[in-house]
Amino acid sequence: MTEPKTMTPKTMTMVEAINKALHDAMEADPKVLVLGEEVGDKEGGGVMGVTAGLSTKFGTDRVKSTPITEQAIIGAAIGASIGGYRPVAEIMLMNFIAVPMDMIVNHAAKLRFMSGGQTSVPIVIRTMTGTGFQTGGQHSDYLEAWFAHTAGIKVVAPSCPDDGYGLMRSAIEDNDPVLFIENLPTYWNPGPVSGQHVPIGKARIAREGTDVTIVAHSLMVHRAAAAAEELAKEGISVEIIDLRTISPWDKEGVLASCAKTGRALVVHEAVRQFGIGAEIASTIGDELWGTMKAPVKRLGGAFSAVPFSKPLEDAFAPQPADIAATVKLLMG
Partner 1 sequence: MSNTPKPDAATLLAIWKKATLIKLNDERIIKQMMAGKLVMPYYSPRGQEIIPSALSMHLTDDDYICTIYRGIHDMLAKGFPLGELWAELAGRATGTCKGKGGPMHLTHPAKGMMVTTGIVGSSMPIATGLGWAAKLDGKNRVSVANFGDGAANIGAFHESMNMAALWKLPVIFMCQNNLYAEHTSAADSRVVDRISARADAYGMPGVTVDGNDPDEVYGATKIAIERARAGEGPTLIEAVTFRFNGHLLGEAGTYMDKQLYAECQAKDPMPILRARLLTEGIATEDDLVAVEADINGQIDVALAAAMAAPFPDPSELKRDVFAQDLA
Q: How many CA within 13 A on the CB side of residue 72?
A: 8
Stretch that binds a second copy, among 41-49, 135-143, 174-182, 232-240 (CB under 8 A): 135-143
User: Residue 29 has what DSSP assignment?
Assistant: -
Q: From the list ligand TPP, a second copy, partner 1, none, which binds 286 (C-beta under 5 to 8 Å, kind-based)?
A: a second copy
Measured from the CB of residue 136, what is the shortest distance to ligand TPP in angstroms?
12
Among 1, 47, 72, 99, binds a second copy (CB under 8 A): 99
Catalytic status, residue 16:
no
Residue 204: beta bridge partners?
242
Distance CA 157, CA 218 (A): 6
| Cβ atoms 83, 111 nearer than 8 A | no
Among 226, 256, 259, 302, binds a second copy (CB under 8 A): 302
E-assigned strands of the chain?
10-13, 32-36, 63-65, 86-91, 124-129, 154-156, 178-183, 190-193, 204-207, 212-216, 238-242, 245-247, 264-271, 297-301
Cβ distance to ligand TPP smaller for residue 37 or 141: 37
- The torsion angles phi and psi of 52, rounded to 5 degrees, stand at -60, 140
Asked if 249 is part of the footprint of ligand TPP (rule: CB under 6 A), the reply reads no
**CA-wise closest residue to 160 among 243, 234, 103:** 243
Among 187, 316, 320, 327, binds partner 1 (CB under 8 A): 316
| Cβ atoms 163, 9 nearer than 8 A | no
DSSP track, 168-229: HHHHHHSSS-EEEEEEGGGTT-EEEE------TT--EEEE--SSEEEEE-THHHHHHHHHHH
Report in angstroms the alpha-carbon separations of 198 from 84, 149, 167: 24, 23, 5
Asked if 148 is part of the footprint of a second copy (rule: CB under 8 A), the reply reads yes
Asked if 98 is part of the footprint of a second copy (rule: CB under 8 A), the reply reads yes
Per-residue binding string, a second copy, 23-62, x by CB under 8 A, is ----------------------------------------
Measured from the CB of residue 183, what is the shortest distance to partner 1 in angstroms?
17
Asked if 273 is part of the footprint of a second copy (rule: CB under 8 A), the reply reads yes
Measured from the CB of residue 141, what is the shortest distance to ligand TPP in angstroms?
13
Cβ distance to ligand TPP smaller for residue 70 or 250: 70
Catalytic status, residue 182:
no
Asked if 114 is part of the footprint of a second copy (rule: CB under 8 A), the reply reads yes
| Cβ atoms 149, 104 nearer than 8 A | no
Among 68, 114, 151, 329, binds ligand TPP (CB under 6 A): 68
268-288: string of b/e by CB count within 10 Å (b at 16+)?
Answer: bbbbbeebbbbbbbebbeeeb
- The torsion angles phi and psi of 297, rounded to 5 degrees, stand at -105, 160
Asked if 113 is part of the footprint of a second copy (rule: CB under 8 A), the reply reads yes
Residue 91: beta bridge partners?
127
Distance CA 156, CA 249 (A): 9
Asked if 92 is part of the footprint of ligand TPP (rule: CB under 6 A), the reply reads yes
Q: From the list ligand TPP, a second copy, partner 1, none, which binds 298 (C-beta under 5 to 8 Å, kind-based)?
A: a second copy
Stretch that binds a second copy, among 49-57, 105-113, 194-202, 219-227 (CB under 8 A): 105-113
Asked if 329 is part of the footprint of partner 1 (rule: CB under 8 A), the reply reads no
Distance CA 165, CA 17 (A): 5
Which residues within the stretch 94-113 sit at the binding site for ligand TPP (CB under 6 A)?
96, 99
Which residues within the stretch 92-121 sit at the binding site for partner 1 (CB under 8 A)?
95-96, 98-99, 102-103, 106-107, 111-120
The set of catalytic residues is 70, 139
List residues binding a second copy (CB under 8 A): 95-96, 98-99, 101-102, 104-106, 109-110, 113-114, 136-138, 145-146, 148-152, 247, 270-271, 273-279, 281-283, 285-287, 289-290, 294-298, 302-305, 307
